[in-house]
Amino acid sequence: MVELDLEGLAQDIMRRVLRFADDCVVLVGSSKSHQVRFSQNRIDVAKTWNETSIGIMMDKDKRVNVLELSLPSVRDIDEVLEAAEKALLSSQPRPIYAELPEVAAGLKRGVSVVDVRVRDEPGRLIDHVHTAIEAVKAAGARRAAGSIRGNYVSLVLASSRGEASLFDEYTNVYMDVRAFLDGEETGHASQLSRGIDGIDAEALGREAGETARLNSRPIVFEPGRYDTVITPNAAASIMNLAARASSAFFFLMGMSFFAGKLGQSVGSDKFNLIDNPFNPNSRLPRLFDDEGVETRRNVIVEDGVLKGLLHNRFTAKAFNSGLTGNSGWVVPHPWHLEVGAGDYSFDELIRELGKGLVLNNVTYIRFQNYVVGDFSGVIRDGLFYVEGGEIKGAVKGLRFSDNALRILRNIVALGRDVKDIYHWWLEFGTSVSTPSILVKDCGYTKAFGY
- Report whether the peptide linkage leading into residue 72 is cis, meaning its omega lies within 30 degrees of zero: yes
Q: Are residues 254 and 166 in the same domain?
A: no
Contact predicate 152/380, CB 8 Å: no
Structural domain that includes position 106: 6-214
427 pLDDT higher than 60: yes
The letter for the amino acid at 282 is S
Which of 214, 231, 246 is the endpoint of a domain?
Answer: 214
pLDDT band at 369 (very low <50, low <70, confident <90, very high): very high
- The H-assigned helical ranges of 365-428 are 404-409
What average pLDDT does this structure show over 375-404?
A: 93
What average pLDDT does this structure show over 130-157?
A: 97
Which of 153, 183, 214 is the endpoint of a domain?
Answer: 214
Contact predicate 97/314, CB 8 Å: yes
What average pLDDT does this structure show over 351-362?
A: 95
At 36-94, the pLDDT tens digits run 999 999 999 999 999 999 999 999 999 999 999 887 766 678 889 999 999 999 999 99
Cβ–Cβ contacts within 10 Å for residue 67, how many?
A: 20
Q: Are residues 110 and 259 in the same domain?
A: no
Q: Are residues 396 and 277 in the same domain?
A: yes
- The total number of structural domains in the chain stands at 2
Angstrom CA distances, 129 to 17, 162, 199, 205, 259, stand at 46, 45, 11, 9, 43
Give DSSP secondary structure letters for 54-75.
EEEEEEETTEEEEEEEEETT--
- The H-assigned helical ranges of 5-151 are 6-17, 77-90, 116-120, 123-138
**1 part of a folded domain:** no
184 pLDDT higher than 80: no
pLDDT band at 215 (very low <50, low <70, confident <90, very high): confident
Q: Are residues 184 and 232 in the same domain?
A: no
Q: Are residues 259 and 206 in the same domain?
A: no
> How high does pLDDT run on average in the chain?
94
pLDDT band at 1 (very low <50, low <70, confident <90, very high): very low
Q: Are residues 284 and 421 in the same domain?
A: yes
Q: What is the pLDDT of residue 135?
A: 98
Between 215 and 200, the more confident residue is: 200
Between 267 and 425, the more confident residue is: 267
386 pLDDT higher than 50: yes
What average pLDDT does this structure show over 228-243?
A: 96
Q: What is the pLDDT of residue 74?
A: 62
Q: What is the pLDDT of residue 73?
A: 65
Q: What is the pLDDT of residue 448?
A: 75
Contact predicate 3/27, CB 8 Å: no
Q: What is the pLDDT of residue 205?
A: 98
Cβ–Cβ contacts within 10 Å for residue 374, how many?
A: 18
99: part of which helix (H) or strand (E)? none
439: part of which helix (H) or strand (E)? strand 437-446
Q: Are residues 181 and 242 in the same domain?
A: no
Look at the chain and count its residues: 450
Give DSSP secondary structure letters for 229-259.
EE-HHHHHHHHHHHHHHTBHHHHHTT--TTT
